[in-house]
Amino acid sequence: MTKTDAVIIGAGPTGLFAVHQLGVNGLSVEVIDNLDKAGGQCIELYPDKPIYDIPAIPECSGKELTKNLLEQIKPFKPKFHFNERVQELKENKGIWTVKTNKGNSFTTPNVIIAGGVGSFEPRKLPLKELEKFEGKNVFYSVSNKEEFKNKKIAIFGGGDSALDWALELSKNSKVILIHRRNEFRGAPRTLSELEKLKKRRKNFYKNSFSN
């Protein structure tokens, strides 16, 4: 059983900045995350994709943001527990007990849940023998966009991540965007840029829809 001032569930950007805020107040921190590294979906889904909505930073990548956050919290020496998932959370007289799937236990008066949309687990296509193509021709995230340079790419999805990658990868590759609905669910600015790209037909084949 480890006693600490705070347990943070989630090592994404919000969790990492919470480490900083607790650290400047002299509090010890234990951070638990289901992934094998810090950065959350920001580093797992789009480490190289430009991010434009960070205050006072006109543009940075998920990798750069994570690196800077980790550098910022170094003086506070937080303890990370990667590849672990919280399975039990109980409170007794103002003290929380947190238990993980690896048998680790923590007691703390403060629990901060910074899980974003939850543990990142890709929604895989239900196709036979698809696993043998994963990491070669089928990908659930982009860790290095250079791997897709000068190739013909099909992207499945209609949310922000799919649309942002369609725009980014179309700079050096030919992209087909496939979505099950008749409309996309991205930010207005992203949708506007997508329409401009379609009209120019520059490295962007078409929209394909599947009911």
Give the contacts of 194 (CB within 8 A, at least 6 positions apart). 163, 166, 167, 184, 186
In CATH, the number for domain 2-113 is: 3.50.50.60
Closest CA to 16 of 54, 59, 58, 56: 54
d(C-alpha 56, C-alpha 139), whole Å: 33
What pTM was computed for the model? Answer: 0.66
Calculate the alpha carbon distances from 59 to 2, 50, 75, 97 in Å.
Answer: 39, 6, 26, 40
- Check if 2-113 and 130-209 are the same fold: yes
Could you report the per-residue pLDDT of 44-68, keeping only the tens digit for each? Answer: 777 777 888 888 999 998 899 999 9
Q: How does the average pLDDT of the chain come out, rounded?
A: 87
In this structure, whether the domain defined by 130-209 belongs to CATH 3.50.50.60 is answered with yes
| pLDDT confidence of residue 118 | 64
- 42 near 12, Cβ under 8 Å? yes
For residue 12, how far is the Cα from the chain centroid? 7
Q: Where are the domains of the chain?
A: 2-113, 130-209
Could you report the per-residue pLDDT of 92-115, keeping only the tens digit for each? Answer: 999 999 999 999 999 999 999 998
Could you report the per-residue pLDDT of 119-150, keeping only the tens digit for each? Answer: 666 677 788 888 889 888 898 877 788 889 99
